[in-house]
Structure 1
Amino acid sequence: MIIVSYDISDDKLRAKFAKYLSRFGHRIQYSVFEIDNSPRIVNNIVNDLKNKYESKFSQTDSVIIFKMSSSCEVMRFGYAKNDEKDFLIIT
């Protein structure tokens, strides 16, 4: 899994970038996406950032990609607890 967090000041560019990221994963916070980690997807995102988006960023814009390893522990609270992939309820 990778986590992509962004702070983009331009509304139109921010909306375009969020729509782009939604092709690969899902939003877990307003400016944070969780994306299944595969080398191809990570490379696509990084290449598109460099080639399509970075030149449009202002000095205050930022994008941070956190590559989570399989040994990382993810703790979820509140509504996020329901976001697990293998969530099963038996009544």
Structure 2
Amino acid sequence: MVIVSYDISDDKLRTKFSKYLSKFGHRLQYSVFEIDNSNRILDNIVTDIKNRFEKCFTQQDSVMVFKLSASCEVLRFGYAKNDENDFFIIT
């Protein structure tokens, strides 16, 4: 699992970056994504950040990628507890 957190000042670049990340994971907070995928996909995401996005970043921008191992414990509180369980709503 990977957590990607970003603070990008340019609106257009920030929107492009969030749309890119949304293809692979889900948004935890406004500028934080959780990506749970294979190591190959995760490595491709890091490579894309380096090759496609990093050249557009300014000194004001930051992106942090947290690679979490399988043994890493994640504690969830409040609404985030719902992310632990898969649930379906049938109407």
> TM (normalized to structure 2)?
0.89
Indicate the residue corresponding to 1:35 in structure 2.
Answer: 35
Q: Where does structure 2 lack aligned partners over 5 or more consecutive residues?
A: none
CA distance in 1, matches of 2:66, 2:73: 13
Q: Where does structure 1 lack aligned partners over 5 or more consecutive residues?
A: none
The Cα of 1:84 is off from its aligned counterpart by 1.4
Identity among equivalent pairs (%): 74
Indicate the residue corresponding to 1:78 in structure 2.
Answer: 78
Q: Summarize the Cα distance change of 1:51–1:17 in structure 2 as closer, same or farther, 3 Å threshold.
A: same
Letter in 2 for 1:56: C
> TM (normalized to structure 1)?
0.89
Indicate the residue corresponding to 1:61 in structure 2.
Answer: 61
Matched pairs, number: 88
CA distance in 2, matches of 1:14, 1:35: 18
Indicate the residue corresponding to 2:8 in structure 1.
Answer: 8
The Cα of 1:42 is off from its aligned counterpart by 1.3
